[in-house]
Amino acid sequence: MARDLAPAHDLLRFVDAAPSPHHAVAEAAARLVAAGSVEVDHRAPFAAEGRRHLRHGGTLVAWVAPTAIRQDTVLHLVGAHTDSPGLRIKPNPAADTLGLRRLGVEVYGGALLNSWLDRDLGIAGRVTVRTAEGPAGHLVRLDDEPLRIPQLAIHLDREVNERGLVLNRQHHLVPLWGHLDSTTTEDLLRTRLAAAAAAAPEQVVAWDLSLHPLEPGRLVGIDNAFVSSARLDNLLSCHAATSALTTAPERADRIAVVVLFDHEEVGSASDRGADGAFLAGILERIWLTLGGDRRGFLRALHAGWCVSADGAHATHPSYPDRHEPSHRIALNGGVVLKQNANQRYATDDATAAPVLATCDRLGLRAQWFVTRSDLACGSTIGPLTAAALGIPTVDLGAPQLAMHSAREICGTDDVADLGRLLSGLLAEDLSPVER
């Protein structure tokens, strides 16, 4: 059967428009607006019926709600995360040396540090500027004067291929930006940011800026088998979830919610992260605004259902011993259900059942991922959301290789499959499962 390339091409447009969590949320919001969603401000009272969404920094909550709560209304959630591991620019950004301009960076999350070397890097994120009406945030993207972190030549590091590359986060990851002159590096950055934000340099107060590889994503391999791109973890799931919500029907018995969280890669403990009060507060406000009460809200969570969508490790062909031998995960092999006895993933038999039923109905394949028993298991927003809300939750996602590299790879068919699965889950009648 001919490969359906359209979802992967649309994913690449999404990823390339989303070099930072702030941009990811803006791109998702733009797509939701195009599908009829109305943006509301979470800092003010908001209407909740119909298609709505709100943003808080790099976090977005979007929903499709009926006009009123009924006895049988439940909450169906799909969650993912907008952030990816990488490098963030420090508040005092100058790290100049030897007549060269360099920008000081912090490592954000569990990045594969080597993957950031020898690539052309842009700057993107949010800058806050001072205005007469108070501070205002602007999205900025500086791609025209790339930075670069050059690796040490092999002649000066003869054993690097045998011993492995060791990078000191403070000394070896400082990107090069140009030659020093009479302008300080901080003033230069401020000038560039101000121009991008249509402001004066002295108005720039502070920033939340990350670096991003400049080469665009593309399909690779024979028959376009694979997607090669930055930030597949987890913009792949953000893209699929956003697309699924745009086609989710308005139903009297359900509030369908998509939440794209920031800060997953650093533990999710923040005012907008999965390990915090934000989502619960927004959900309860939606519920009360639609005329429901708190007792009904808690029931709707307990009778509801949450999908935590995040990348899954495909079995690496060069390192099969790093993977559980009875749980081989194939690229283009179908959606991956992730389970862990120690609750690093939220999936259990009961929450997996409706997913498997939907896969059957849609003709989709499913694979089960389990980490080797002698390796530590990763985690997701799944257990955090399940714990915070008391909502039954399943962890799943598309298989990929090179997770947390600046450039990751996944299967082209899996992009289409994840989209179909999430759309199916948000659209259909889920039969109640025994819990």
Contacts to Zn ion by CB under 5 A: 233-234, 310
Four-CA torsion 36, 138, 285, 254, nearest 10 degrees? 30
- Report CA torsion sign: 345, 348, 354, 360: positive
Pairing between β-strand 74-81 and β-strand 254-261 as defined by DSSP bridges: parallel
- Nearer CB in complex with Zn ion: 203/385: 385
Single-letter amino acid, residue 80: A
- Nearer CB in complex with Zn ion: 87/188: 87
- Smallest separation, CB 83 to Zn ion (Å): 8
- Smallest separation, CB 395 to Zn ion (Å): 11
Pairing between β-strand 100-108 and β-strand 176-179 as defined by DSSP bridges: antiparallel
- Nearer CB in complex with Zn ion: 96/414: 414
- Nearer CB in complex with Zn ion: 44/376: 376
- Nearer CB in complex with Zn ion: 233/262: 233
- Smallest separation, CB 383 to Zn ion (Å): 13
- Smallest separation, CB 34 to Zn ion (Å): 26
Q: Which residues pair with 261 in a beta bridge?
A: 81
Cis peptide before 234 (omega within 30 of 0): yes
Four-CA torsion 430, 11, 396, 58, nearest 10 degrees? -100
- Smallest separation, CB 212 to Zn ion (Å): 17
- Smallest separation, CB 87 to Zn ion (Å): 17
- Nearer CB in complex with Zn ion: 18/290: 18
Q: What φ, ψ does residue 381 adopt, rounded to 5°?
A: -75, -10
- Smallest separation, CB 309 to Zn ion (Å): 9
- Smallest separation, CB 176 to Zn ion (Å): 29
How crowded is residue 291: how many other Cβ atoms within 10 Å of its Cβ?
13
- Report CA torsion sign: 301, 302, 303, 308: positive
Sheet containing 393-397, strands listed edge to edge, beginning at the edge strand earlier in sequence: 38-39, 50-56, 59-65, 254-261, 74-81, 305-309, 393-397, 335-338, 366-369
How far apart are the C-alpha atoms of 104 and 100, rounded to whole Å?
A: 13
- Nearer CB in complex with Zn ion: 73/385: 385
Cα 249–chain centre separation: 24
Which among 246, 212, 241 is positioned nearest to 381, based on CA atoms? 241
Cα 199–chain centre separation: 29
Contact 274, 384 (CB under 8 A): yes
How far apart are the C-alpha atoms of 429 and 252, rounded to whole Å?
A: 12
- Nearer CB in complex with Zn ion: 16/233: 233
- Smallest separation, CB 12 to Zn ion (Å): 18
- Nearer CB in complex with Zn ion: 73/371: 371
- Smallest separation, CB 175 to Zn ion (Å): 24
- Nearer CB in complex with Zn ion: 229/234: 234
How far apart are the C-alpha atoms of 373 and 352, rounded to whole Å?
A: 21
Residue keyed to tokens 């079995």: 315
